[in-house]
Structure 1
C-alpha cells in the first residue's frame, strides 16, 4: 500500500474539531489495533519528542459505520514502511522522511485507502486540554514575572522582559484537564547564573504573586492564536498572546482556547523538595471554568 508523500495536514492549531477527510493508508499495529492515516485531520497526536499534551479522542465515521479513535500517534514513513510512535527511528521533521498522524482504532476497523470519512474530536476533552495548555503558558510567564527580583546577573529574558526562569529551569511539563503540572530544577547551574533559591522559601507568597498577575491578564480577555508556517504536521507553530507588558510568543505544538476570556480563575500551588545538588520545584495550575450562561 502506498504511503503519503507529504506530511499530514493538521487542522487542530486553528481550533478545528471535525473535518471531512480521505483515508490514505491503513495498517495493523503490533498490539492488534489498526492505524489509520488521513490526508487531513483535526486530531491532535501525542508527540514523543515533547509529550506535554496528550492525544485527542473521538471517532471516524464512514457512511453508517463509526469507529472510535482510541489513541493518536505520529508515524514516520519512508518508501513502503510506516513506523509508529516509539518505533520511529527518526525525530519528526527529519529530512527525507514523511510524517503522518496515525489514528489508532479497534482491530475490527474496516477502512480502506480512498474511503471518505468524517473525523470528529471529543470536544469536552479538547476544551479541557486547551484550557489547561493556555493556562500553563500564562502561568509560566507569570512565574517569570514573580521571580524577576531573584536574579543578580543578566540572563535571557522572556518576551515580556522578565528573566526567563521557566525556560532556564523547566524539567518537565504535563498538560491536564483544566490544568497543568510543571517541574523545575534549581541546581548549581541556575545558581551560577545568579538565581537566589531563597526566593522559593515562601511558596504561599509566590502563589499569591503569580495568581495576582494571572487575574490581571485574564481580565484583559486578550485573543490567543497559533501562528504557523504551513499546515503540515511538522511545520513550526507558535502560541501568541498580547499581554499588558508585550506580545508573548512561545513555540508550541498543542491546542489552545481562542481568548483569555474563555478561562476562569486560575489557582497556582507550589511544592519544593530537596534534590541532589539543589532544589526541586513543582507548580500545579488549576483553572476553574466559568459557569455556562
Structure 2
C-alpha cells in the first residue's frame, strides 16, 4: 500500500525509554481501502510491529484529540517514508524495498478507529501500560534465555569460526534463529541447523540427545542471573524509530549486549522467574520461554 504524504523524517519515539504516554503533532491521516484509519505523528510513545522482524506485537492504546475525542489505537505498523518525495509505503510494499538508502525514513503508523484527526493537530497518546509491561517482560526474558542457550550449547560446537556473543560463547541464537514470536510474558524461538552450521561444527544430534541436561543448565543459569539483579539499558534515548538501539545488561560480571528494536523492563529485579523448555523439530529445535 502506498500514499503520498508530507512526512520527511523518522518518527521520534518514547517507548525505548519506557514511556507509555506522550503527545505528537499529526503529520498524516487517511483511510485505506480496508477501512483502517492511519495516523502518523512526529512523536509517539507507541511501539509498532516491524515488517522486517515482527517478533514483538504492536502496542495498543488511545489517541485523544484536542476536542477530547478518544480514538482507539488497535494496531501500529512500521512504515517507510521517502524524505525526498513524501511517498509512504508499508506492509509488503515496504518489505519489497529491501535495503534502503538514507532517503527512506522509518515511521510509526497508528491504526485507529473513528474519524481521522486533522493534520497539524496535536494529540495525546496513551499506551496500554499493562500490555506493554507484559510484552517488555517477555522480550527481556527472551534475550536472557538466548544468552543462557548460547552458554549451554557451547560444548556442542566442535570447530571454531562461529560468531561469539558478548559473553564470549558461540552465538547459537544468532547463527541458527529463523523466527521469534513474543506474546504477553512468553516467547517462542525457532532454530534451524542446516548445512552451514553443521560445517561450522555444531552437533545437533548430540545436542538433541542431551536436551534434558541442556534445559536444566539453561534454567540454572537463568536462576543465577536473576538472583543478582542489575539494571537493563536500551540506548540511545531519546531517539527516532530509525535509530539502532543497543540492549545491555551485566551477566556473569560481563556486559551482555545485543541490538534490539523492542521494549524491555528496567531491571532484572522486575522479573520473578524465567522458565525455558526446548523441543526438537525437524532440522532444529524450538525454545519456549515463560516469564513472570
Matched, 1:38 2:50: no
| Contact 2:16–2:237 under 8 Å retained in 1 | no
Is the partner of 1:51 in helix, strand or coil?
A: coil
2:141 to 135, 145, 149: 135
1:12 to 10, 15, 32: 15
- In 1: Cα distance, 2:169 partner to 2:6 partner: 46
Matched, 1:74 2:40: no
1:118 paired residue number: 124
2:284 paired residue number: 280
What are the Cα deviations for residues 257-279 of structure 1, in whole angstroms up to 9, with x where unaligned? Answer: 00011012111111102x3xxx2
Is the partner of 2:280 in helix, strand or coil?
A: strand
1:94 paired residue number: 101
| Contact 2:136–2:264 under 8 Å retained in 1 | yes
Is the partner of 2:140 in helix, strand or coil?
A: helix
| Contact 2:39–2:116 under 8 Å retained in 1 | no
Matched, 1:21 2:24: yes
Alpha-carbon RMSD across the aligned residues, in angstroms, is: 1.7
TM-score (norm 1): 0.92
Matched, 1:104 2:111: yes
Matched, 1:252 2:255: no
Moved over 6 A (4+): none
- In 1: Cα distance, 2:41 partner to 2:164 partner: 40
- In 1: Cα distance, 2:239 partner to 2:81 partner: 18
**CA offset at residue 2 of structure 1?**
5.0
- In 1: Cα distance, 2:275 partner to 2:51 partner: 28
Matched, 1:50 2:57: no
| Contact 1:93–1:234 under 8 Å retained in 2 | no
Matched, 1:208 2:216: yes
Q: Which consecutive residues of structure 2, in runs of 5 or more, have no partner in the other structure?
A: none
| Contact 1:3–1:77 under 8 Å retained in 2 | no
What are the Cα deviations for residues 161-185 of structure 1, in whole angstroms up to 9, with x where unaligned? Answer: 1111111111111112101101111
Output aligned runs, 1:113-262, within 5 Å: 113-154=119-160, 155-197=162-204, 198-228=206-236, 231-262=239-270
Structure 1, 220-229 or 76-85: larger mean CA deviation: 76-85
- In 1: Cα distance, 2:102 partner to 2:218 partner: 42
TM-score (norm 2): 0.92
Structure 1, 39-48 or 108-117: larger mean CA deviation: 108-117
Task: Quickly say closer, same or farther: Cα 1:99–1:191, change in 2 above 3 A.
Answer: closer
Q: Which consecutive residues of structure 1, in runs of 5 or more, have no partner in the other structure?
A: none
- In 2: Cα distance, 1:30 partner to 1:54 partner: 23
State the number of aligned residues. Answer: 283
| Contact 2:8–2:86 under 8 Å retained in 1 | no
Structure 1, 12-21 or 228-237: larger mean CA deviation: 228-237
Task: Quickly say closer, same or farther: Cα 1:220–1:123, change in 2 above 3 A.
Answer: same
